[in-house]
Amino acid sequence: MTAAGRRARLLGLIGVPLLAAALVGCTDDAAPEPSATTPGASAAATACLGGGAEADSVEVSGEVGQKPTIALSGPLGAATSQRAVVSQGTGPETKSGDVVQVAVTVFDATTGAELSSAGYERGSGEQLTISADYYVPGLEAALLCNQAGSRSVTVASAADMQPAQTGTAPPNAAAVIVVDTFSIVPTRATGVDQPAQSGFPEVALADDGRPTVTIPDADPPAELQVEVLKKGDGEVVPDPANVTVQYQGVNWRDGEVFDESWGKGTPTPFSTAQVVPGFAAAMIGQTVGSQVLVVVPPAEGYGDGGQPSAGIEGGDTLVFVIDVLAVA
């Protein structure tokens, strides 16, 4: 495989998943079940990698948050994956299922050539979910057990850099992975409670943050309506953006939950460009840490076609409670 080919494949390894089927802006009756493409946390890699002479031998230059360079004393055999801390952080330690803000650079373990990188442009990293559902074992393990504020280097064996389903391209080689861990994304909104507005559905929160929505005994509003339940003090969500959220969707017609991220093991990343318009409108302009409730009329939801796989009929008004946790 050429260097360009390796670069293309490894860039795919660190791409961020952007959508879940329940909120995709389409009305295709053959669409998947709402939760079918929203993977939960994987139990594949739950233990921290051990150290080793090869990981210790990698010289990593640059400050945390700046794109690193490395120097190798020679080609690394990388028979087993191993990890070393380059710069110790002081925050909490990452674990399987966490959504993390990180910057990642992948290098060839034989030549030291850079293959791909992500997360340095904005200074706050990319949102990645630590799960084997998204990444090869080597990258998943490189994201684990890092304290917020730290930089680590992982020498990942060729075996740990292979996808679960092999294709026609040559296999990935062993890699050196430098990870800067900025923060762990909270699992619920942390903003300040706001006064309730009349006419909106009522929301009660469980101890873990999961909402229970009570629909008023009234006809739904004809226009999109947004209520801020908690006001965060983080970054404003631009348009377009990739946003990590917890969410719950309730049908105004029957009060039933038709989809939610709660209970799936991890928050969910979405693109504002790839969800129904009403859901996107509720996120855009909000601050990270906020919780919002949005009442979505059919014209800004699933229209006259509905979404039968989610129990949404044509003309249904939807209610979403959205915890805005991170933006990229």
Determine what percent of the chain falls in helix, strand and coil, rounding each to the nearest 5: 15, 30, 55
pLDDT, tens digit, 9 for 90 and up, residues 30-44: 332 333 333 333 335
Give yes or no for residue 55 having a pLDDT over 80: yes
Q: How many CA atoms lie within 13 A of 95 on its CB side?
A: 7
Give the model's pLDDT for residue 36. 31
Nearest to 81 by CA among 165, 142, 132, 151: 142
Tokens standing for 284?
């855009």
Tokens standing for 233?
């003090």
Mean pLDDT of 47-54: 95
pLDDT band at 46 (very low <50, low <70, confident <90, very high): low
Give the separation between CA 55 and CA 157, rounded to whole angstroms.
Answer: 11
Strands 202-205 and 211-214: antiparallel
Please say whether the beta carbons of 55 and 155 come within 8 A.
yes
Q: What's 140's DSSP letter?
A: H
Give the model's pLDDT for residue 45. 55
Helix count and strand count (H, E) for the chain: 4, 17
Query: What is the pTM for the complete model shown?
Result: 0.75
Mean pLDDT of 215-231: 98
In sequence order, what are the beta bridge partners of 312? Answer: 307
Cα-based angle 249, 252, 255 (whole degrees, multiple of 5):
75
Give yes or no for residue 316 having a pLDDT over 60: yes
% pLDDT > 70, the chain: 85
Enumerate domains of the chain plus CATH numbers: 39-184 (3.10.50.40), 192-327 (3.10.50.40)
pLDDT, tens digit, 9 for 90 and up, residues 68-125: 999 999 999 999 999 999 999 999 999 998 999 999 999 999 999 999 999 998 777 8
